[in-house]
Chain A
Amino acid sequence: MAQNLQAVGDVAPSQQQSQLDADAGQAYFDHVMAEDSRIEPRDWMPDAYRRTLVRQISQHAHSEIIGMQPEANWISRAPSLKRKAILMAKVQDEAGHGLYLYSAAETLGTSRDEMMGQLVAGKARYSSIFNYPTVTWADMGAIGWMVDGAAICNQVPLCRASFGPYGRAMVRVCKEESFHQRQGFEILLELANGTPAQKQMAQDAVDRWYAPSLMMFGPPDDDSPNSKQSMAWNIKRFSNDELRSRFVGMMAEQVKVLGLSLPDPEVRFNEDTKKWEHGPLDWEEFKEVLAGRGPCNAQRMERRRQAHDDGAWVREAATAYAAKMAAKNEVAA
């Protein structure tokens, strides 16, 4: 190794060495991608891969954490004790999912504090659908069935993401999510078979959450510049439109069981392409909400910020206690 470096001549050894390292690392990385194998935290990886992953995983984590709010909004008013327990367990799961994902992102060298700091500073993005309000109980059903349904469509392929910790986190998340979608569907089913007013409540919720849930898959493929790279890196397995189409197909079938309808007369299965199609979506609204002009953006951020700030003294107290105990044990030892 040392001989090697001497032979290099006038280039600074460290620089030369790091170039060699990068080349070897890139070669190994490419090999892993070609094999559809996994990259682990301590492996060499391109900076852009690391950055993209941190962004993608932390956005996903933020979405789980912010996503707790619209549903937590109904915990206190759940109309039966059974539903209250289910909803509590579900919102609690979202906190867990956020935690699993932050942990995965942390292996890339960005601390949770840093990510949380970006979120409360308004510098990080999260799924824009959580900026819509939950105005009726039926929204708990629609979110479970449609929003979690869309999330699962997105997440199941990510169990095979090329970054090991991300894939493993997604396995755990997907396992737990499976009850989320079912409980949502059953809320709607119960409402749809209830009184006319209940059925109307369910249909109204499906109408309101339909388009936002379709837009959860992200912009159309021809307007999604980073997708190609992400797919090459195996951190995105299917294109936005592909997943959206599958999702619409599932909704179209399942809505019949509910005895409700989707608010989109253009949903159909295209026999030629063998793909499900849907009507146009309002991408302007999507961008507006993403840019912070949704009905609840400010409220969601404020709530997270407040919880974070209100908890500061508690976190400090626990840290101080741990330090005191450690010092005490040292003296004793």
Chain B
Amino acid sequence: MIPTGSQPSQAQAGSLAGVGPATGSQPSQAQAGSLAGVGPASATRITPGNALRPEDIALEVQRGDVKPSENVGEYALRLGDDALILAQRLGHWISRAPELEEDVALGNIALDQLGHARSFLTYAGAAWGKTEDELAYFRREPEFRSAHLFEQPNGDFAVTIVRQFIVSYYQFELYRRLTDSSDATLAAIAAKAVKEVDYHRDHSAQWVLRLALGTDESRGRLLAGLRLLWPYVGELFEDDALTARLGDAAVAPSSLRADFDRLTDEVLVEAEIDVPHVPSALGGGRRGQHSEHMGYILAEMQVLAREYPGASW
């Protein structure tokens, strides 16, 4: 497209024509540009990789290969809503993080969570003939099943890190066990998610240590964040009728608590912090009872989709 004469940018110019994103399987433009170089070692060879995607689940649903029971659908809704509301919160950090590197790091975590949300919601929707977007954009507040922790505001970076710390240690224990679910789709989604969440644990633990042992100010902010959010830990581990009914398909939340406590405590001990003694909040998210924050989250997330009901984007 750009008649550049002698240099290797012709290959580059390909990208102008939009040879773009599907570069996965073939050496992409820039690569070609440097073919003059020797050997295949490269730090910029990109591929889409190979993993379970929400689109794969949608396809299975469409083909009628999978259809969850209403109970499983209801359970998937909980997990999907947790991840969706967290992704919505985390997305706000992109362009506002303490350092550019952290913009990218939090962006990656948000994208992982959004991916899990899409997979769970796509699968959940199949129980009622709904798509992920119908569930995300056209349910009302009481129909959301996320726990209160996920809707807590970002606060400062310390609050966000504490929320990540609790969430990722909880999700890791949950997904680790869910890979053994008798429901093959839940198990498959969990198998993809558990690896990503494992990294989220590491990210949050690294920051807990740095904020706790960094400066007086950072320690103070971290402790404040822990006191602010620890009341919402209890809700994550409450069993109820649904999880009892599901048996081997789900994981009893209470069964995660011991490992969660042990592993978070290891980090907190290293950070020279005691688990805050604060009363547990009542919760109610699994029954559709949310905090005051939820309405605003949904108003913002849903506004455009609801302005054009039935539209395709």
Contacts and interface: CB of A to CB of B under 8 A. Distances in A.
Direct contact of A and B (CB under 8 A): yes
Interface of A: 36, 65, 68-69, 72, 75-85, 88-89, 91-92, 95-96, 98-99, 102, 137, 149, 152-153, 156-157, 159-160, 171-172, 174-175, 177-179, 181-183, 185, 187, 190-191, 194-195, 197-198, 237-238, 246, 250, 303, 306-307, 310-321, 324
Contacts of B7: 36, 160
Given A156-B12, A175-B29, A246-B2, A307 B46 contact: no
A238 B2 contact: yes
A174 B12 contact: yes
A182 B88 contact: no
Most chain B CB within a 10 A radius of its CB, from A102, A197, A250, A318: A318
Contact of B110 (A69, A88, A195, A313): A88
Contacts of A96: 104
Contact of B215 (A69, A175, A197, A320): A320
B133 interface: yes
Contacts of B215: 313, 316-317, 320
A313 B304 contact: no
Contacts of B46: 175
A172 B30 contact: yes
B313 A83 contact: yes
Interface stretch (B18-26, B59-67, B171-179): B18-26
Nearest to B44: A172
Contact of B20 (A81, A83, A181): A181
Given A81-B136, A195-B308, A317-B211, A171 B34 contact: yes
Given A76-B300, A156-B13, A175 B114 contact: no
Please report whether the interface of chain B is mostly helix, strand, loop or mixed according to DSSP: helix
A95 B94 contact: yes
Contact of A69 (B95, B213, B214): B95
Contacts of A198: 308, 311
Nearest to B17: A250
A148 to B, nearest CB: 11
Contacts of A320: 214-215, 218
B114 A137 contact: no
B20 A182 contact: yes
Given A95-B107, A321-B209, A76 B301 contact: yes
A246 B211 CA distance: 51
B33 A181 contact: no
A153 B18 CA distance: 11
B157 interface: yes
A321 B210 contact: yes
Contacts of A81: 54, 84, 114, 117-118, 121, 132-133, 136
B99 interface: yes
4 closest Cβ pairs, A-B complex: A311-B98, A317-B214, A317-B218, A92-B107
B18 A314 contact: no
Nearest to A312: B98
Given A178-B20, A181-B18, A80 B305 contact: yes
B220 to A, nearest CB: 10
A148 B282 CA distance: 48
B30 A92 contact: no
Contacts of B104: 92, 95-96, 99
Contacts of B114: 81, 84-85, 88
Interface in B1-50: 1-2, 4, 6-9, 12-13, 15-16, 18-21, 23, 28-30, 33-34, 44, 46
A175 B101 CA distance: 20
B28 A175 contact: yes
B103 interface: yes
Given A157-B2, A303-B95, A324 B213 contact: yes
A185 B95 CA distance: 23
Nearest to A137: B304
Contact of B91 (A76, A79, A238): A76
A178 B98 contact: no
Contact of A315 (B2, B99, B103, B305): B99
Contacts of A68: 94-95, 103
A159 B34 CA distance: 10
A187 B156 CA distance: 33
Nearest to A197: B308
Interface string B101-138: 11110011011001101100100000000001100110
